[in-house]
Structure 1
Amino acid sequence: MKNDKRIRIVIGHYGSGKTEFSVNYAVKLAKMGRKVGLVDLDVINPYFRSREKTALLAEIGIKVVGSNLEGNALDVPAISGEAATPLQDKSYDAILDVGGDPAGARALGRYFPILRDGEYDMFFVLNANRPETQSVDKAMEYIAKIEATARAKVTGIVNNTHMLKATSVEDVIRGYDLAVKVSEATGIPLRYNSCLESLADKLPDEVKTNVFPIQLYMREEWMI
């Protein structure tokens, strides 16, 4: 994490776990004593949005910016004007949780003047269990569409292959194998292998190298 750029953009197909990764990333930074701003730019998916955890994250010291309309039940594609603050204020470590498809990436396009090459990382969260990104060709096509819409380049791949609480070591390994192939085909480095904390020590050594253990902040205890 220490080598990542100050601004981290997180993209991924619906169901990839990009929001869970974004929240966990923010929490890890906050626990390192960093000033963190988490910007929820997901105007596509009305469920499992990072701004739903505003109160919890605020307790940890994380500033969450989302809709400029209060209330989780309001499914309105409106982003607060505060969203630019963590991007422009260099005292922040900024994380942008972007909508889960090329259409959702349009929300990122408005910040194109702020996002200069070399000053941000854009992580593509890959879930090999999703039909839309379960092959090298499909993943590459998705990356290309996102980049064209967002006018920003993917700089890292995050293997986040999961089946929610039923995720197995085999799921993570299968995702790792696909992520390596996508990395080789695109030249985009594999930055993290994300997995449940309970699985981290069970992974093969090559997968452990850049393991990113996570908790399921976005799933309530009663959810499967």
Structure 2
Amino acid sequence: MKVNVNIRRRAAADEDVRKLNSIIIARLSKIDGIFRGDDVQLQAVFDPGKGESAGTYLSPFLVEGIRGGVSYASRTPGAVKDRGTSDDFIYLELDLESLNYNWFVTVVFPVIVEAFGAYRSTVVTDLDQRDDDFNKIVELCRLEKKDLKSRDGVFRIQSVNYFDDILCKRAFGIGSKEVAARLEEHVYVVREIGDGVFFITSDKPVAGPETLIIDKKIKRLLAGR
């Protein structure tokens, strides 16, 4: 079974992406158990791109069962806006035949979130549901004129989630502390980290009808019902 990890941070216009990448890779390299060897900082090659984006491919240095890298949004003058198009992100694919899911989501995932300074992060365990959701999200974004795919809302609660305080207020109308309080005793893990809330809906990857059942339950709790 393969699942996807998407960890997003808001780009800042005044950041030097090459220096930022060095900081991010240094932080990630300190996370136990996800890299082969200790020299990822020296060997991982930063690709500055051609102005529109940049990134570092990490798959050759990641342990068996993890593939992915880091991508940075354009910092060209005027490009950085309060939209998902101005997100930096870490993208990972996990192969659960080779990797312990519970270890990754409870131990590694929150550490990556903090190391990256993320505002929104998910582990998507039902890739078919993600694909089914795509056109619905695009249409809602068009109708509501909001960036519901990233900065303005949450269309689908995933198996593993992190939302910062700003996103919680935009998506749910309450701050991250209140989100944590409403989910207490209703999910597998919930705790405040950084400037937001991290929660896992179940002790195992969720797929099929259970995805929709849990999504509905969490949204009802966050709406105070």
Structure ranking higher on relative contact order (CA contacts 8 Å, 6+ apart): 1
| Structure number with bigger Rg | 2
Q: TM-score, normalised by structure 2?
A: 0.30
